[in-house]
Structure 1
Amino acid sequence: MLPGHRVRKVLRRALVSFALASSALSGPAFAQIAKDAVRIGVLNDQSGPYADPQGPGSVASARLAIRDFGGKVLGKPVELLVGDHQNKADIGASIARRWIDVDGVGAIVDFGNSAVSLAVQDLAKNKAVIINVSSVTDRLFGDACSPTAFVWNYDSSTIANAIGRAAVKAGGNTWFLIVADYSFGQSLQQQIERVVVPAGGKIVGVARHPVATTDFSAYLLQAQASGAKVVAALNAGDNTINTIKQAGEFGLVEGGQKIAGTAFYITNVHALGLKTAQGLQFVVPFYWDQDDASRAFTRRWRAERGTDAAPSHLQAGVYSAVLAYLRAVEAAGTDDPVKVSEKLRELPVNDFYAQGAKVRADGRLMKGMTLYEVKTPAESKGPWDYLKPVRAMPADEIIRPLAESNCPYAKAN
């Protein structure tokens, strides 16, 4: 039997050894993933009015990102789930709740409806990583921000800064707003007013429409009667397409009014045709033909989708978001959403979509955008050759400063 002092010495050595082993196991090199797989959910509009610029094309982008990463992270397979929120916040929240609580989903990506994003971001706080790609309300990194949520594309205040100021400077000092009547459109209206009025412009009328509408004649007649120099379509997807098509039928452009697209996509240009859309200007953070890396991604995306179409900036953003999430999980050594979120803010984003971009404390990816103009039919050299760059705009110039943030988790650097 050992003397008491020797027993105590052996016990101390054992405790030190256990503490060192525990410390090593808790480090990032040890995979802390209790589930049988790392699961990512793509939640968006799969078949409704916003399906073309996101929908199944975003799912294809997510699959490519997972494949490029190797299909596994920290020794566990990566699985992809897909949900259709049908542009209803309650349905989106229900899907997200089941994914998180039952299926063990660690990250949910995309959305495409701001009301859905706000609902999901609130319920998932500290329970899952939320990466908003297709939703535009700036509340997502403002008063409704979350320590485990991010904005990966553009937002309503950024769009307003880029489009509103440029149009007023060009003489468009009276505006009529056609607004999608949900949180995205309402947020965009507030931002346009915030930019246009101080710049010397005036809002002469506003007409709100439900998301499901296809007939914009009443709203366009109001816009025409207002005499506004700029008629802004504060909507997206099929709503924007129908607004611009019917504006042409009513002769708004021929009458001297300009149509401004806010949340606008290359799929909108394709649906409208160059003859109708030519000259329209809008801002996006990605264009498929902008450089060699974007063209390479487009070739692989087309093969994945089995299509000759071009990916939208939303679909490109989903690829970047999923890849960044997997890199953050690997760097954190765990899929714990809080720790992964810390890594997402720490690591630069390096891919074809965003090169060297950083994520701010409020979750906003600091990625610049480019103002593009739709080509004329004579300028286009082939299918999907639709846009020409007008002006590149760095992130610091167009994204609301962190010092002005009302996100309770953000601190200005």
Structure 2
Amino acid sequence: MRVLSKVLFALSCTVAAQSAYAQQASDGVVKIGILNDQSGVYADFGGKSSVEAARMAVQDFGGKVLGVPVEIVSADHQNKPDVAASIARQWYDTEKVDAIMELTTSSVALAVQGLSKDKKKITITTGAATTDLTGKQCTPYGFHWAYDTHALAVGTGGALVENGGNKWFFLTADYAFGYSLEGETSKFVKSKGGQVLGSVRHPLAATDYSSFLLQAQSSGANVIGLANAGLDTANAIKQAAEFGITQGGTRLAALLFTLAEVKGLGLKAAQGLTLTEGWYWDQSDENRAFAKKFQEKTGRMPNMIHMGTYSAVTQYLKAVDKAGTDATEPVAKLLHEMPVQDVFAKNGKVLPNGRMVYDMYLFQVKKPEESKSDWDMYKQLAKVPGDQAYLSMAESGCQLTQ
């Protein structure tokens, strides 16, 4: 009887301890929302593959934190800030979502980050690019993972100017992301001694780029900077090839183009493009092993958006676990303090404005004859150290105290 009593007592203590621990997680579940474009021009860029990356992060973490399950919910914001804000508000108010991530499209990310500031909820943006997220519109609860327009400008813009691409004309997506990418790249081109001869703006999801490309060609530029993304970039590249623009010696700078879009476009059309990403599957044994698992689940290799989402979910769960609660203030504090060390980022650090700083890479798309396998698409040209790729806290324009 004594032995049985001791066993029962020990079990009751364990249950009580687990119950008290679980009470630190609100609502008995930690819920993360992945909000992105799942049906439009950026569906391959992030889309449902980012949702799968988030689920993989939860699975690799063990499926639970603080003794309660972790749940991933997702929705398609259709690249509309009002739709995104409405979904986010419902998630926070009704579905008790603790944090929202991915947020492809800069106008969407700014809208949801602003709402989340008012609701005192954490956002970790991996799919949007504007530096305003950690600049003039920074918040204590907003974080920016994976890349931004400054990192892309330093990588792709800098490389081309240094290799003779000194006269630029921009084809720019007509919303916050496009303006930011054009602005950051223009500043960098000029700082390197290059010239910006002009720019033209096109609507999101345009189908005919002929007039824009001809205007760029007639400007006398030797580089056409594509300050757009997803299918917009792919379609512009296809039509530039049809017009013989690149054959005439003008270079195309794909300022935001990832492995997903290169695959969709094909090596024949994309060969020779220079681009900047924060991760590539064939850089290491660790990357190759993870990419194989990802491909088994999605049918594709991950790009930096998918990997950034995996990293963001993982880091959030680490912070919740270390804080002993999913309450926003202590978790946000730890997200600012904890180093980022995972399959995506090595020795990453988070600045007071929420910008995660890690190394970026300049790649060139291989020629078809150089590719040895279905996803063998990049040659690495250079590594851009994180402290060069990203704006410092002082340069960012963020007014949060350091």
Q: Indicate which of 97, 103, 106 corresponds to 2:95.
A: 103
Q: Indicate which of 228, 241, 247 corresponds to 2:240.
A: 247
- Larger displacement relative to structure 2 (189-198 or 279-288): 189-198
SS of 2:27's equivalent in the other structure is: coil
Alignment of 1:3-402 (within 5 A): 31-125=23-117, 127-305=120-298, 307=299, 309-402=300-393
In 2: Cα distance, 1:225 partner to 1:39 partner: 52
In 1: Cα distance, 2:158 partner to 2:199 partner: 19
2:89 alignment partner AA: R
8 A contact 1:107–1:129 mirrored in 2: yes
Segments of structure 1 that go 5 or more residues without pairing to the other structure are 1-24
SS of 1:282's equivalent in the other structure is: strand
SS of 1:123's equivalent in the other structure is: helix
Q: Identity, % of aligned pairs? A: 46
1:213 alignment partner AA: A
Compute the displacement of 1:199 (Å): 2.1
Write out per-residue CA displacement over residues 102-155 of structure 1, whole angstroms, 9 at most, x where no aligned residue: 111111010110000000000101621100001000000001011011110111
8 A contact 1:100–1:127 mirrored in 2: no
1:93 alignment partner AA: A
Compute the displacement of 1:410 (Å): 4.4
Write out per-residue CA displacement over residues 354-404 of structure 1, whole angstroms, 9 at most, x where no aligned residue: 122111111011111111111111111010100011111110122112221
In 2: Cα distance, 1:356 partner to 1:202 partner: 35
In 2: Cα distance, 1:387 partner to 1:161 partner: 19
- Larger displacement relative to structure 2 (48-57 or 274-283): 274-283
- Larger displacement relative to structure 2 (186-195 or 48-57): 186-195
In 2: Cα distance, 1:162 partner to 1:304 partner: 31
In 2: Cα distance, 1:258 partner to 1:356 partner: 34
RMSD: 1.4
2:356 alignment partner AA: L
8 A contact 2:151–2:360 mirrored in 1: no
Compute the displacement of 1:30 (Å): 7.4
In 2: Cα distance, 1:177 partner to 1:290 partner: 31
**TM-score, scaled relative to structure 1:** 0.90
Segments of structure 2 that go 5 or more residues without pairing to the other structure are 1-16
In 1: Cα distance, 2:282 partner to 2:191 partner: 36
2:234 alignment partner AA: I
SS of 1:314's equivalent in the other structure is: helix
In 1: Cα distance, 2:69 partner to 2:265 partner: 42
8 A contact 2:98–2:122 mirrored in 1: yes
Write out per-residue CA displacement over residues 256-276 of structure 1, whole angstroms, 9 at most, x where no aligned residue: 100001111112211221122
- Work out the number of aligned pairs and report it: 383
- Larger displacement relative to structure 2 (292-301 or 131-140): 292-301
In 2: Cα distance, 1:383 partner to 1:167 partner: 27
CA distance 1:38–1:384, change in 2 (3 Å):
same
8 A contact 1:53–1:311 mirrored in 2: no
8 A contact 2:173–2:201 mirrored in 1: yes
- Give the greater-gyration-radius structure (CA): 1
1:40 alignment partner AA: I
